[in-house]
Amino acid sequence: MPPVPPPGSPQTRFTTLDRAQRVRFRRAVTLMLMTLVLPGSAQLVAGNRRVGRIALRTWITLAVLGTVALVASYFWHGVAFWAGTDTMFLQALRLGLMALAIGWAYLFIDAWRLGQPLTLQRQHRLAIVGVNGFLCFSVAGALLFGAHVVGVQRQFMISMFGDGAAVGASHGRYNVLLMGGDSGAGRWGLRPDSMTVASIDAETGKTVLISLPRNMQNFPFAEGSVMAEQFPDGFDVEGMYLNGLATWALDHADLFAGSKSPGVDATIQGVEGITGLKMNYWAMVNLEGFKDLVDAVGGVELNVRQPIPVGLPYEDTFHYIEPGTRTLDGHDTLWFARAREGSDDYSRMARQKCVMGAMLQQVSPQVALRNFEKIAGASSAMVSTNVPRGEVDRFVDLALKAKSQKIATLSLVPPMINTAHPDIALVQQKVGESIARAEGRTPSPTVDAAPESDADTSSEAPAAEAPAATGGASTTPSAPATPEAPPSVTGGSLGSMSQGYAANESEDLGAVC
């Protein structure tokens, strides 16, 4: 056993000093950890108790409010949706996070001071500085980053959505006109390349996608509208189609006094006249900007049925998307939706519906959160809409409900509809039947409509059978004597123009894509 040094000897004094140094070091570290777990507790124990009480009460209040908000959001998603879309709340939250970051950083610095770093040995002082700096910058940095994300969301809401008044549901449904247009010089918003009405049940979110061909002619307008006054017998201008309404309206903007978007107004009046549905809102999608959105969510998985050309043959990057289940980036997804080679307009419409359905199903809240800033940036450049900010939380809630349900589709195209001389009574009947089926109601008895041309004479019966003949969602039992022929594929879409494309009329879009 080593001899015990006598009291007062240099060795004893060294051991006592070393032990005291370790005690002060542990105390300093403890004060900083207390500040991390319970801000203000270090000041209550060893510093300004008034500051400690204020900090601790603030922390407890915020913890209680946060817990209540999380519980309320779990049971009622509307709380979270409101919080994420209300610009005043977002601004208050952003400023609050910044203030919290500054206050917490001050508490860490004060806890470091209370630990009396100048009384510690050099290695202990350096360790305390490192620990304090790490905790201070980590906590304050996380809060400031949160403030930045909240600011991005607020700016996104301001730049994307307007501050207009909300419009009530029409017959229990929200009808939103989705238009896709090119973004080239002089083209943005002028000639929509695609037009789809998303008819959404205001309670369940059950959605019916009703697509209109851009080459539709000789159609009426909504009663009492500006375009109905100009064309009381319908839009029968030679060489002009549905997608030309926007151009016509811009050339006659004086007829739409006070309108910020006469081209959109004219298009809506035409769509309402054709479908018989009242449009609540509209959204114009920049198809080129759509690429950035797909890239922001990490691509989209699609079922490719035929080789789809990407680009033009003379381009160095020209290639084909090969058949199979493929995860496509934004560039290839846009070409999948718009490629013309070996296609017709109606097969392209079918592929576009498949892209829309895949995006709805695959972009989960988790994916959106992970890629939030990129999605917000892409969406701001991609979409122009008149949906007011106060309604965004409602549509987010409906979109999440729609994810768990089948999406029904209806396209007003051949063989069911003759786009040159559409039977409007038949069109509106088909629209009503699709919505009735989506709502679980029995459609009204079919009223035979007199065909307006030879192209319409036999269109109704084949259209009803098209999904079954092309791999659609029909489940009518049959007992063929011979094995069924594989479904036809045209332009990458299941079906053909003469039979109809499965994705253009289906009760379950996911099953036919």
Domains in the chain, CATH or no CATH each: 10-160 (no CATH), 173-474+486-512 (3.40.630.190)
Rounded-to-integer distance, Cα 76 and Cα 368, Å: 20
CA–CA distances in Å: residue 177 to residues 7, 89, 272, 384, 423: 91, 29, 10, 12, 21
Strand, helix or coil at 96? Answer: helix
- Average pLDDT, integer, range 25-30: 90
- Residues 6+ away with beta carbon under 8 Å from 39: 55, 56, 58, 59, 103, 104, 107
Name the pLDDT band for 218 (thresholds 50, 70, 90).
Answer: very high
- pLDDT of 5 reads 57
Helix 87-114 / helix 49-75 crossing angle, nearest 10 deg:
140
Tokens of 186: 């002089």
pLDDT at 159 over 50: yes
Rounded-to-integer distance, Cα 74 and Cα 81, Å: 11
- pLDDT of 22 reads 83
- Average pLDDT, integer, range 358-368: 80
pLDDT at 190 over 70: no
Strands 207-212 and 408-411 turn out to be: parallel
HSE, side-chain direction, 13 A CA sphere, residue 436: 12
**DSSP classification of residue 190:** T
pLDDT at 186 over 60: no
Name the pLDDT band for 279 (thresholds 50, 70, 90).
Answer: very high
Q: Partners of 286 in the beta sheet?
A: 181
- Residues 6+ away with beta carbon under 8 Å from 313: none
Kindly provide the b/e burial profile for residues 284-313, where b requires at least 16 CB atoms within 10 angstroms of the residue's own CB: bbbbbbbbbbbbbbebbebebbbebbbeee
Q: Mind listing the pLDDT tens digit for each residue in 41-55?
A: 999 998 899 999 999
| Bond prior to 313 in cis (omega within 30° of 0) | no
pLDDT at 473 over 90: no
- pLDDT of 396 reads 86
How big is the chain, counted in residues? 513
Rounded-to-integer distance, Cα 199 and Cα 86, Å: 25
Torsion from C-alpha of 217, 219, 225, 226, nearest 10 degrees: 30
Q: How many whole angstroms from its chain centre is CA 136?
A: 36
Q: How many whole angstroms from its chain centre is CA 375?
A: 8
pLDDT at 418 over 60: yes
- pLDDT of 60 reads 94
Contacts by residues 86-95 (CB-CB < 8 Å, ≥ 24 positions apart): 86/389, 86/393, 87/154, 87/157, 87/158, 87/389, 90/150, 90/151, 90/153, 90/154, 90/157, 91/154, 93/150, 94/147, 94/150, 94/151, 94/154, 95/147
Query: E strands along 227-323, which residues?
Result: 281-286, 300-304, 308-310, 319-321
Q: Partners of 407 in the beta sheet?
A: none
- Average pLDDT, integer, range 191-203: 89
Kindly provide the b/e burial profile for residues 70-99, where b requires at least 16 CB atoms within 10 angstroms of the residue's own CB: eeebeeebebbbbbbbbbeebeebbeebbe
- Global confidence as pTM: 0.75
Q: Mind listing the pLDDT tens digit for each residue in 370-395?
A: 776 777 777 766 778 899 988 888 88
CA R_g for the chain: 32
Tokens of 391: 């309604």
pLDDT at 470 over 50: no
- pLDDT of 189 reads 45
Strand, helix or coil at 166? Answer: coil
Q: Which residue intervals of 76-222 are DSSP H helices?
A: 77-85, 87-114, 122-160
Higher-confidence residue of 484 and 154: namely: 154
- Average pLDDT, integer, range 161-185: 81
Strand, helix or coil at 78? Answer: helix
